[in-house]
Chains A and B, each alone.
Chain A
Amino acid sequence: MGDGRGGGGGNRPAWLQLYDLVGKIGEGTYGLVFLARPKQRKGCIAIKKFKQSKDGDGVSPTAIREIMLLREINHENVVKLVNVHINHADMSLYLAFDYAEHDLYEIIRHHREKLNHPINQYTVKSLLWQLLNGLNYLHSNWIIHRDLKPSNILVMGDGEEHGVVKIADFGLARIYQAPLKPLFENGVVVTIWYRAPELLLGAKHYTSAVDMWAVGCIFAELLTLKPLFQGVEVKATPNPFQLDQLDKIFKVLGHPTPEKWPTLVNLPFWQTDLQHIQGHKYDNAGLHSYVHLPQKSPAYDLLSKMLEYDPRKRISAAQALEHEYFRLDPLPGRNALVTSQPGEKAVNYPARPVDTTTDFEGTASVQQPMSANAIPGGVTAQSMAGPRPGPRQISMVGMQRMPVGSMAAFNIPSQAGMNLNPGGIPMQRGPAGQAHPQQLRRKDPAMGMQNPGYPQQKRRF
């Protein structure tokens, strides 16, 4: 490694200088998402900034959770973490992802508000298949996403991966075996429209089936262009019990019964809120009429299996991928945004809206900047004083240079944490350096399946 002295650590660009900021593309409870263009290479990058944890308790646990999962994940239908940047000044983390131009929220909205016609069959099927493919990968790696909704399902724009689905936002994701806390303890507000009934009824132990419920809701929304269960959220209390949301579900699917869902009687809110929950009676299940699908169609069959009340009976991602729906014409494909018929006109989807009037909030440091890379021997005493911070706010119009803050460029090293890569070269998780004896364990043959075998190809499970 050498001692790197005299290498001029101070000349190394603060990581912000590696990018041109385009604007803000998202905002959530965790922080902000920016669109940026790396100066060194083609393509765009989405940079997600995590707020500092509020209680002065170090690095945001949400950020840690998301990074640690993303570091282990590698799948075509899951977003790719390209870089992690650190702002030492406020201990915030910036995650850089390959930028996906579209998301299901915007695609659905475009059809609903601009085009006034449904999304074509091929696109719906391809989006759904890829979403399930990514989810199957996550679930076979024991990861539950827990926050699937249209705005978290991204679709790549023009380029080599055009029309490829990427599941994003792992801030709430969990590995099953870690003790799962109920959602409300996280203090994060999640849209309730995609929340599974067992969660709404207070289940403490939930499974990957919660993700499948969300997929069912998204599937219906792709077909009808509007959210299937649009409950009104009670925000006053951090309570998972959302009566209106349950009511909306019951109205469409009919009332759940202990006969069909035996463990229903064990759920806290079913027990304690007999009057409200069981008060209304909805007998006529009318899902098919809501989604305008014939009851005998394969699409309807798949949808109803995703929206099965009993989480134990609900279809799994692996089973869903095998469903008849995906074997009938039009077959799903890798580029969901092209048309299946030659004569058909492809929809030109607008990119996610970009707010160009913003800057990387908080990136300019007002404190004495001490930019340092935690690279052993990589920094000299003299080189420590980083570049001066630029003005704190620069009004931004369109393409904008970012203010230089006290940032340390950090690239996840490709070699066992040693050669931290100063050049801003995208990280790559190399294969095992040497042949290692495999861990002794019986392995599910479907685990870690990476190859997105589209249905037209032969697949083995």
Chain B
Amino acid sequence: MADFQTSTHRSRWIFSPEDLVEKHETANQRAAKMLEQYGTTRLEVSVDGSLSYPEPIHDQRENERQSTSKPLSCEEEQLMQVFYEQKIQEVCGAFMFPHKNSGMGIMATAIIYFKRFYLQWSVMEHHPKHIMLTCIYASCKVEENHVSAEELGKGIQQDHKMILNNEMLVLQSLGFDLIVYAPYRPIEGFVADMEEFCQSRIDEPSKFKDLIETAKSEVDKIMLTDAPLLFPPGQLALAALCRSNEVHRVLDFCYLEGIFNRQCASHSTLELTESLKAVDFLVEKLKIPTAKDMRHIDRKLKNCLDPSSVDESKKREKRSKHKSKRTGSETHGVPSEM
């Protein structure tokens, strides 16, 4: 693969935590302002891929009605993104892309596209369901695993035209920086290296297999956090391996020391440990949205995108209020504080 050191991934798409907050806030506030001024946040993408913006409100009565739509908060947007990032993993898993490894690549690439896209846009402007599909579609093209939009749409019972309509928008929003480095491959690299390092001391080679498998599922979790926008893939892989090692206890920490001794002193052990801790922290505090969260956010989003349906949905909301309370408790995952 082209070199990460000189890549656009490294030079343009790794941020500080403050950057991320600022970008998300900017997009959120822009959409909120649009909602206030125009009564809706939906940006229509037409057949030719161009965007059209809502008409400003002149009608006084309409204006009053619009005020009932509340914009999503940054936290709600974040939850919604996590939800659809999980969906990307699900869809990619269901599609069973031919080779296991390239399947991982497609999935990771699609999630990173999705994250980068929503650094610039609010979910109130472009519905994440559409963007999710387009990201998977684009990622398949890039990873040399071309799936036709029609096929992809069919596979998940979605209109494939939406995928095509959004393609140019997504590519453009990504600045055409399409080569991304997923943390899955480095895991294999590290483990190969560990095997060499520990050869004499480990008597069960099968342990490494477990180590890899658990590490990959740890990467799956890491992919749902902000970490891929904050740290290079090698560090994400290492963080996943450390988490996996806590389960399997294959290695002691001197392996890490070993890595440093071979590096050209561009980082200290301390810096790396800090990064790994930070990734760990992000995984621990990862909030998986519950079905209840999603229902609430979805309803809000629907109001933002399509205010004319607001009265209708209000009625439904009342009717289903009792019911939703009951089902909310059945959902798994970390409970939301909202």
Contact = CB atoms under 8 A, between A and B. Distances in A.
B291 to A, nearest CB: 30
B178 A436 contact: no
Contacts of A90: 48
Given A68-B142, A376-B27, A441-B4, A416 B50 contact: no
B262 A88 contact: no
Interface in A364-399: 367, 370-372, 374, 376-377, 379-381, 384
B286 interface: no
A87 B238 CA distance: 43
B16 A58 contact: no
Contact of B12 (A67, A86, A429): A429
Nearest to B7: A72
Contact of A55 (B48, B148, B169, B173): B148
A432 interface: yes
Interface size class of B (residues with CB under 8 A): 35 or more
Interface size class of A (residues with CB under 8 A): 35 or more
A57 interface: yes
A370 B46 contact: yes
A64 interface: yes
Contacts of A61: 141, 146
A413 B50 CA distance: 19
B168 A88 contact: yes
Contacts of A374: 51, 168-169, 172-173
Contact of B167 (A55, A59, A84): A59
A201 B61 CA distance: 75
B59 interface: no
A213 interface: no
B13, B55, B176, B186 pick with most chain A CB within 10 angstroms: B176
B28 to A, nearest CB: 11
A69 interface: yes
B52 A68 contact: no
B279 to A, nearest CB: 12
- Mostly helix, strand, loop or mixed at chain A's interface? loop
B266 interface: yes
Contacts, number: 203
B119 A437 contact: no
B234 A439 contact: yes
B94 interface: no
A429 B8 contact: yes
A175 B1 contact: yes
A161 interface: no
A143 B175 CA distance: 21
B130 to A, nearest CB: 14
A110 B14 CA distance: 49
B90 interface: no
Contact of B168 (A91, A418, A437): A91
Contact of A438 (B26, B149, B172, B232): B232
Interface in A43-95: 55-59, 61, 64-65, 67-69, 71-74, 84, 86, 88-91
Nearest to B185: A177
A413 B175 contact: yes
Given A370-B51, A381-B38, A437-B272, 13 more contacts: A57-B148, A59-B168, A67-B178, A84-B176, A86-B172, A90-B48, A175-B2, A178-B102, A376-B125, A381-B53, A416-B175, A418-B23, A437-B275
* 4 pairs of A and B residues whose beta carbons are closest in the complex: A68-B178, A439-B234, A440-B234, A417-B175
25 contacts: A57-B164, A58-B167, A61-B146, A64-B138, A64-B141, A69-B2, A71-B179, A72-B3, A72-B6, A74-B6, A142-B1, A178-B143, A178-B144, A370-B52, A372-B52, A374-B173, A406-B48, A417-B13, A431-B11, A436-B232, A439-B4, A440-B234, A440-B263, A447-B5, A448-B5
